[in-house]
Amino acid sequence: MIGNEIKRHIEEAEKIIYKYLPKEEGFQKTIFEAMNYSMTAGGKRLRPILMLETYRLFGGKGNVIEPFMAAIEMIHTYSLIHDDLPALDNDDYRRGRKTSHVVYGEAMAILAGDGLLNYAYETACKAFDMTSDTVRTAKALKVLASKPGIYGMIGGQVLDVLMTGQVMNEEQLYFVYENKTAALIEAAMAIGAILAGASDDEVDIILQIASDVGHAFQIQDDLLDVLGNSDVIGKPIRSDEENGKVTYVTVHGINQAKEDVKILSERAVKRFTELEYENEFLKALIIFLVTREK
Amino acid sequence: MIGNEIKRHIEEAEKIIYKYLPKEEGFQKTIFEAMNYSMTAGGKRLRPILMLETYRLFGGKGNVIEPFMAAIEMIHTYSLIHDDLPALDNDDYRRGRKTSHVVYGEAMAILAGDGLLNYAYETACKAFDMTSDTVRTAKALKVLASKPGIYGMIGGQVLDVLMTGQVMNEEQLYFVYENKTAALIEAAMAIGAILAGASDDEVDIILQIASDVGHAFQIQDDLLDVLGNSDVIGKPIRSDEENGKVTYVTVHGINQAKEDVKILSERAVKRFTELEYENEFLKALIIFLVTREK
């Protein structure tokens, strides 16, 4: 059942995101094609859906959320394009499709990533024309600009790259998971809350929920890399092991990892009771995310 | 004389920019080092100086301009790091120093570029905490997010890459110069004007001046590549020719290029009379820029 509901939400998110993609025309057409190739490659649209549902949780209405939904998906997508580059993970496939540099060449993949990152901010700035509440929009933009950055997602990615093939201690592993994965989920949910007018205390609770969801989601991802079926996942399994990557699963073992996914996701869902609002789909989505098979 | 004045302005700009650079500490220290290596590599600091002097032209006071000065230099610097990558221009030297990927490796150079681009927006957002005029700051941010993007600098870079080794027509050449070089100079000057409270008409005049300055500056750069002394410039001369690059000089010849630099810069300087304000240094700087020897 939740599967169909999620499908409907993915379609809703994609309809919104696609409105903000560049038209494939003009002298620089190739980069628009490369950006759109990766933006339309499917995926769970997790971040925009979490953003929209958190917005709804706090009673958010109106379309000011839309450019932010597109922006966070652009940031997520640029990070995948650059991660897949030969100098980084050197992955030829992603979601069952050839990666950007395989299709468009390395130079264009670098530029498409840069283009998406920059266009994310250009797109989010469109929200200023859609509401008179400039202060609230500015607050959301500050979250959008900080969580994916050098003290957030990129910071986590850096440590992950630096430690490839080496054993990470608890603190380092936590740093990578918190920043590389959780930070963007925190941004998504916090922006939804802020734009709907949530108080600072409410945003703090949302950030805690999002952090737990992010960690659980990443550990589940690592579990799938070990236990999953490559046809279902759309990329080769055991790629972490082959790339010499240390993950939560290689450090703590499969059983502990499974147990911790359960603890984190249950804690996240329970924390919604601290808020005055309810969104049953959001709670169901979180449970689905950490029990998913791809 | 103007040389000493410029030196003083470079020092002033660097003092401001350096306040916004990340501290080299924490698990992701390496990326901070790579970012700062490129940010402190010298250069003319043209964009932040033009921004600050345009701000002053319109009577701007206060420090809200500072994070934007740092941000535009971060954007300029990220574009150089990524341009120099093996998959793009494959340059080992820049401003007489080894390029980022030579020192830090390709993976870290890609991440340092991403880090600077994202941090530019994170830094510019700090302006929201420095002024109560959120609307004006949002307006400046919109310019910062659009001019360097896929309809600006990155767009120009894309056509430049696509056309390497091929003859460009007038329209294509103009597109590359307008976007790859002029767009960022337009952003710098327009942001200075906007933050100082210039009217829309005044911002339009500034944009026209900046466009002329940008084109003249880039043609002068191409002239220096042909005529210059590599010891003075800090990179090999005739690199455009060797890389099969078509430039204004290869298309129009040295004499026409020299003539057009003169026409563009004189038109830019003359246009200041359309404004009610004066900034003699700004005018002298523009003339200096297009008569420079490095």
Cα–Cα distance for residue pair A103/A263, rounded to 1 Å:
41
Please tell me the predicted confidence (pLDDT) of residue B243. Answer: 65
Strands (E), chain B: 93-94, 97-98
Q: How far apart are CA B101 and CA A182, in angstroms?
A: 28
Predicted pLDDT at A195: 98
pLDDT value of position B49: 98
Find the mean pLDDT for residues A254-281.
Answer: 94
- Percentage of chain B beyond pLDDT 90 is 83
**Residue B229, pLDDT above cutoff 80:** no
Amino acid at B11: E
Residue closest to A217 by CA, chosen among A252, A154, A264:
A264
Q: Report whether B173 contacts A41 (CB < 8 A).
A: no
Of A201-215, A242-256, B278-292, where does the model show the most confidence?
A: A201-215
Q: Of A96, A84, A102, whose CA–CA distance to A234 is shortest? A: A96
Of A111, A135, A149, Cβ closest to residue B157: A111
Across all residues in chain B, what is the average pLDDT? 93
Is pLDDT at B237 greater than 80 in this prediction? Answer: no
- Whether residue A145 and residue B122 make contact (CB cut-off 8 A), yes or no, is yes
Q: Per-residue pLDDT for A270 more than 80?
A: yes
Q: Which CATH superfamily is domain A2-289 in?
A: Farnesyl Diphosphate Synthase (1.10.600.10)
CA distance B32 to A151: 10
Taking only the tens place, the pLDDT of each residue in A5-55 is: 999 999 999 999 999 999 999 999 999 999 999 999 988 999 999 999 999
B145 touches chain A (CB under 8 A): yes
Q: Does B81 touch chain A (CB under 8 A)?
A: no
Cα three-residue angle B73-B74-B75, rounded to 5 degrees: 90
- Which residues of chain A does B31 touch, with a Cβ-Cβ cutoff of 8 Å? 150, 154-155, 158
Q: Burial, A255: exposed, middle or buried (Cβ in 10 Å; 0-12, 13-18, 19+)?
A: exposed
Does the pLDDT of residue B235 top 60, yes or no?
Answer: no
Residues across chain A: 294
Residue B288: Cβ-neighbour burial (10 angstroms; 0-12, 13-18, 19+): middle
Question: Minimal Cα–Cα distance from A106 to chain B, Å?
Answer: 6
Contacts for B241-250: CB closer than 8 Å, 24+ residues apart: B243/B89, B243/B164, B244/B164, B244/B165, B245/B160, B245/B164, B246/B163, B246/B166, B246/B167, B246/B168, B246/B173, B247/B222, B248/B173, B248/B177, B248/B218, B248/B219, B248/B222, B249/B219, B249/B222, B249/B223, B249/B225, B250/B222
Tokens of B67: 């994070």
| Average pLDDT of the segment spanning B255-273 | 95
User: What's the confidence (pLDDT) of residue B292?
Assistant: 80
DSSP label at B94? E
**For chain B, what percent of residues have pLDDT higher than 70?**
94
Continuous H helices in B84-128: 100-104, 106-124
Which of A88, A111, A121 minimises the CB distance to B145? Answer: A121
In this predicted structure, what is the pLDDT of residue B245? 74
**Which chain A residues in 162-191 lie under 8 Å from chain B, judged by CB atoms?**
162, 172, 175
Six-digit token string for A284: 């169901």
Q: What is the pTM of this model?
A: 0.95
**What does each C-alpha distance from B75 to A55, A104, A194, A230, A277 come to in angstroms?**
32, 24, 28, 39, 41
> Which tens digit of pLDDT belongs to each residue from B29-59?
999 999 999 999 988 999 999 999 999 999 9
Residue A234: pLDDT over 60: no
Region of B11 please: left (phi>0), alpha (psi -120 to 50) or beta. alpha
How many Cα neighbours within 13 Å face the side chain of B170? 1
User: Residue A237 has what pLDDT?
Assistant: 59
Please check the confidence at residue B86 and state whether its pLDDT lies above 90: yes
Q: Closest chain B residue to A154 measured between Cα atoms? A: B115
Question: What ipTM goes with this model?
Answer: 0.95
List the domain boundaries for chain B.
Answer: 2-289
Q: Which of B72, B78, B85, B121 is the mutation pick for testing A, counting most A CBs within 10 A? A: B121
DSSP code of residue A2: H
**Predicted pLDDT of residue A289:** 87
Beta strand A97-98 with B97-98 is: unpaired
Chain A CB contacts of B118 below 8 Å = 117, 145, 148-150, 154
Distance between CA atoms of residues A179 and A152, nearest Å: 5
Q: Please, are residues B146 and A124 in contact by the beta-carbon 8 Å criterion?
A: no
CA distance B13 to B47: 10
Chain A partners within 8 Å of B148 (Cβ): 118
CB contact under 8 A, A111 and B161: yes
Indicate yes or no: CB of B146 within 8 angstroms of CB of A122. yes
Are A188 and A54 spatial neighbours (Cβ–Cβ below 8 Å)?
A: yes
Euclidean distance between CA atoms B289 and B216, whole angstroms: 9
Cβ-in-10-Å burial (0-12, 13-18, 19+) of B82 comes to: buried
Burial of A166-185, coded b for 16+ CB within 10 Å and e otherwise, reads eebeeebbebbbbbbbbbbb
pLDDT mean over A70-85: 98
Q: Residue A213 in contact with residue A289, Cβ under 8 Å?
A: yes
196-215 in chain B: CB under 8 A from chain A: none
State residue A57's pLDDT score.
Answer: 97
Residues of chain A with pLDDT > 70, as a percent, come to 94
| The pLDDT value given to residue A251 | 87
Instruction: Point out which residues pair with A97 in neighbouring strands.
Output: A94
Give the closest-approach CA distance of A135 to chain B in angstroms: 7
Contact A172 B85 (CB under 8 A): no
Name the phi and psi angles at A199, rounded to 5. Answer: -75, 165
DSSP β-bridge partners for residue B93: B98
d(CA B55, CA B203): 11
Provide the pLDDT for residue B241. Answer: 64
> Measured between alpha carbons, how far is A195 from A288 in angstroms, rounded to an integer?
25
Please give the DSSP secondary-structure letter assigned to residue B169.
Answer: P
- Reported as a pLDDT band with limits 50, 70 and 90, residue B99 is very high
> Of B20, B21, B28, which to mutate for an interface test with A (greatest number of A Cβ within 10 Å)?
B28
Chain A residues close to B142, C-beta within 8 Å: 122, 125, 128
The confidence band for A122, taking pLDDT boundaries of 50, 70 and 90, is very high
